[in-house]
Each structure stands twice: as C-alpha cells, then as structure tokens.
Amino acid sequence: MERREPLIVDIHLDLALNAIEWNRDLTRPLAEIREREAHLRDKPGRGGGTVCLPEMRRGGVGLCVATQLARLEHDAYSPVFGWRSPAQAWAMTQAQRAWYETMQDLGEMVSIRNRADLETHLARWGGDAAEAPTLPIGYVLSLEGADSLIGVERLEGAYEYGLRALGPAHYGPGAYAMGTSSEGRFPARGLELLNEADRLGMILDLTHLSDVSFWQALQLYRGPVWASHHNARALVPHQRQLADDMFRALADRGAVVGVALDAWMMVPGWKRGVTTPQSADLRLETLVDHIDHFCQLAGNARHVAIGSDLDGAFGIEQTPRDVQSIADLRKLPPLLRRRGYTEDDVTAIMHGNVVGFLRRALP
C-alpha cells in the first residue's frame, strides 16, 4: 500500500501577485497556464511556472502563507520592480486582497484568521484523501514588505481584514526598514510599525531584513517571529541568507524558518540567466542540505519548515531539476528519511512545526 505522505504547509507563496500582475488564472491546470503564456517575454519564468491551486492540491499543499506584495520604486533607475507612490502600491495590495477574497467566494481558498479557523481546516484536510482534489486551500495572509502602507495607521485596518503576518522589508532600502542588499537600522517610522504590529499581536517576518535591522527587530519585538523563506548562509554566502547565529537566535525564540527553492539561494555561485539547473546539477537533495544544516544547529528538527517561494518571479529555469511543480514538494519526505530523519521529524518539517507555531501565534 502506498504511503500517505503528511500534509504540506508552505509558508511563503506570492499567489495573488502571480494572479494579478502576471495575469495567471491559478484555478486552471499548470499545463494550460504555461501554454497560454509561452509566447510572452515580459517577465522571467514565463511559460515555466510551477504553482497553481490544482497542483497544490495534488501535492497535498493544503495550507500556505500567502502574500500581498507591492514595493516602492525608491530609485527611478533601480532594476528592482516597484511602484512610484505609496498610494499605487497600496492599491495593488488591495487588488491582490480582492483576488484572495474572490477565491474564497468560489470555494477555491479559505482564510485562516484564528485558531478556530486553523483547527477546522486541519480537520477537513485530515479526512479522506480522495477529497483533496476538491478541498479549498487554506491561507494565512502576510504582507511582504511594508512599503504599501501609506501610514502606520493603515496596519490596524489590514489586521481587521485578515492580515496576520508582516515582513517590514523586501529588496533594497524600504519605507519602513532596510532590506536585502542594503544596510542600516529601522528608521523612526519603522520603529512605529514594529510597535503597532506588536500591539496587534501580529507575526513578524524577519525575512529580507538587513543584518542590523534583523537584530534590532529581534531585540525590540515581543510577539511571535519567524523567517518565512531563507536558506543557510554557511552553504550559500549572501546577506539574503541566515547566518548560523541568526538561526540559533530564531530557534531560541521558538520561531520557524522556511527553506526556499529559488536556485540562487540553494547553490553558491549561481548566475541568473547563465547557470541552469542542468549545468549545476541542482536537485531537491540540495535543499535537504540546508534543512539538515539548520537542524544540526538547533539539535532537533523543530524549527524548520517549507517556505518554497516557488512562484517568486521565476520558474523551472531556476528550480531544482526534479521540481517541475509545487506538487514535487512531496518528494521531500523520502529524501529526509534517507538522511536518517524519523517520521516525527518529517511530519514536523512538512507541517507540524508551522501548525504548532500558528496555534500559539494566531488569536
């Protein structure tokens, strides 16, 4: 009898960004989505996407942390995408919010806002496996980068419509924090944002923060923290990754860290547009290296999760060779077992660590 693999929770997917900005109908089969955009060259990864709702169901990815993301263009000549004003960025996040709500209306997704929602959803996905192709995908709403908040006072309204996690930064210097490839501390308005998020009891996502801002946030924030999509800096040296002392500090706070499948974060020396999964012989086994590194640091498997970022503006040109779809995350449990991880460890990594965290962190 075929083993029934554990439920998978993915704590970082940019579903609405893909639906709204990339014009992908994520309710459709993956092959159809790829075919519809195979002729397009406006964005990297066109015709090679790996994420849609049917593929999530097929792989048992029944719960995710789904983002709103709209950053500011802080430098008009910066190659990093962004909007020209906070008002435009805010409007884009609201379009993304409307998409999630429409998916709820259609029965495709369901918002997880509190512990009762979580338990109801877990019970639904823990039933007959044959029902999985028709079950809604649960999502916890997160804001990746706070640029779109026209003012700190907007955060309470966002919490009321379901926002439960907040990452203050994205790439470069942000309106509220210093992000990837930048340096420095939180500005005054960023400290106000931390205080407001703390008051509301939100999950603070330390992903993308500069090193100085990371340590500052960890010191100042009293509420729950996690890092939704990071790999190990010891294996791939870059500021975007977590250094060993960062991971240990997160583990000491009871946090979870989601490991990501973006190729440049998995192997050192990756050059976008030059290196390929084939030339690097990149396979899912490499992600297990990062998982194992973190678990060895913690002395257990209780602080690692999956934060795939598989729809983060790239496709199969920048994923492991054996990952053609988000459903291929189900290949991870056998790889972990071969590394000596117990069934309890595998279950913890695939969903148990995140579920336990959310049981503590959600209202």
pLDDT score, position 78: 52
219: Cβ contacts below 8 Å, ≥ 6 apart? none
pLDDT score, position 2: 45
Q: Which residues in the chain land under pLDDT 70?
A: 1-4, 75-80, 127-131
pLDDT score, position 5: 78
Domain ranges (residues) in the chain: 8-361
Cβ pair 297, 250 in contact under 8 A: no
pLDDT score, position 80: 59
In degrees to the nearest 10, what's the CA dihedral of 188, 91, 66, 315? -110
Residues forming a β-bridge with 83? 72
pLDDT score, position 81: 73
- Looking at the structure, give the CATH architecture of the domain made up of residues 8-361: Alpha-Beta Barrel (3.20)
pLDDT score, position 19: 98
